[in-house]
C-alpha cells in the first residue's frame, strides 16, 4: 500500500488524485475485513447497530448512488431503489435483511461498483468536478463534493467496522 495521493495514469490530473484517494480508502477497508467469517460479518453489537456486512453493502450503495447523481444527473429508478435503498438507509429493515452472506459477496458488490466508478471517471476531465447542481432542498453541491463524501462515508463506516471487530475480539477474552 502506498501512502501517497497523486495523479493516476489514465485519468485527468485531479480526477486521478481523487481516484488515488478512493483506492487508498478501499485498500484499507479491504485489509480491515480480510478473512472475516459470515458470523463476524453478521455480528450486531446491540438492537440498533449495523453489522459489518451491512456497512460494507452500505459503502457500495453510497458509491453507486453517487455514480447515478454525478454521472447521469438524475434520481434513482425503481429498480435501482429496490437494489440500493435498504443498504443505503440501514436501520431495522437492513438488520433483518442483510445477513448470512460470505465476505466474498460483499467484496464482489464493492468491486463491481468501483469498477464502474473508475470506468466513468476515465471519461471526464477535471472541470467536471466543479460542475454544480442542487439537492431537492435547494442546497448547492459540486461533483467534487459528491466524491469527497464517498471517501468520507467509507472512512467513517470503517471506523465503525473497527469498533465492531474490537467488540468481537473482547467477547473471546
Residues 23-78 pLDDT 10s: 999 999 999 999 999 999 999 999 899 999 999 999 999 999 999 999 999 989 99
Q: Is residue 4 part of a domain?
A: no
Distance in angstroms (rounded) separating the CA atoms of residues 62 and 118: 15
DSSP state of 138: S
Is residue 63 included in any domain, yes or no? yes
Q: Is residue 69 part of a domain?
A: yes
pLDDT-derived band at 172, boundaries 50, 70, 90: low
Q: What are 99's three cell numbers?
A: 445477513
How much is the pLDDT for 16?
97
User: What's the pLDDT tens digit per position in 155-171?
Assistant: 999 999 999 999 998 88
pLDDT greater than 80 at residue 173: no
* Average pLDDT score over residue span 131-140: 92
Q: Per the domain annotation, does 101 fall within a domain?
A: yes
In a domain, 2, yes or no: no
With a CB cutoff of 8 Å and minimum separation 6, the contacts of 167 are 43, 45
Measure the CA angle with vertex 23, ends 159 and 84; round to 5°: 70
Q: At what angle do helices 13-33 and 52-72 cross, to 10 degrees?
A: 160
**CA-based torsion, 29, 30, 31, 34: positive or negative:** positive
User: Residue 2 pLDDT > 90, yes or no?
Assistant: no
Domain with 59, as residue range(s), is 13-172
Total of domains in the chain: 1
Identify whether 55 is part of a domain. Answer: yes
Residue at 66 is within a domain: yes
Phi, psi of 147 (to 5 degrees): -80, -30
Residue 134: phi and psi, rounded to 5, are -130, 145
Q: What is the CATH number of the domain that holds 88?
A: 1.20.120.450
**pTM for the complete prediction?**
0.95
What is the Cα Rg of the chain in Å? Answer: 17
Q: What is the pLDDT of residues 44-58, one digit of tens each?
A: 999 899 999 999 999
- Judge whether 90 lies within some domain: yes
Cα 138 to the center of its chain, rounded Å: 25
Tell me the three cell numbers of residue 38: 459470515
What's the rounded Cα separation, in Å, for the pair 168 and 146?
33
Amino acid at each position: 500500500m502506498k501512502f501517497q495521493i497523486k495523479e493516476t495514469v489514465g485519468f485527468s490530473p485531479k480526477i486521478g488524485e481523487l481516484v488515488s484517494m478512493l483506492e487508498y480508502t478501499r485498500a484499507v477497508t479491504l485489509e480491515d475485513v480480510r478473512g472475516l467469517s459470515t458470523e463476524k460479518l453478521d455480528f450486531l453489537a446491540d438492537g440498533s447497530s449495523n453489522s459489518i456486512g451491512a456497512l460494507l453493502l452500505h459503502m457500495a450503495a453510497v458509491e453507486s448512488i453517487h455514480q447515478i447523481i454525478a454521472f447521469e444527473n438524475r434520481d434513482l429508478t425503481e429498480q435501482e431503489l429496490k437494489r440500493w435503498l435498504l443498504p443505503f438507509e440501514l436501520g431495522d429493515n437492513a438488520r433483518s435483511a442483510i445477513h448470512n452472506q460470505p465476505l466474498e459477496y460483499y467484496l464482489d458488490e464493492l468491486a463491481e461498483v468501483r469498477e464502474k466508478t473508475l470506468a466513468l471517471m476515465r471519461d471526464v476531465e477535471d472541470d467536471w468536478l466543479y460542475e454544480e447542481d442542487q439537492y431537492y432542498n435547494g442546497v448547492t453541491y459540486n461533483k467534487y463534493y459528491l466524491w469527497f463524501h464517498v471517501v468520507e462515508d467509507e472512512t467513517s463506516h470503517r471506523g465503525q467496522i473497527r469498533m465492531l471487530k474490537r467488540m468481537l475480539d473482547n467477547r473471546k477474552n
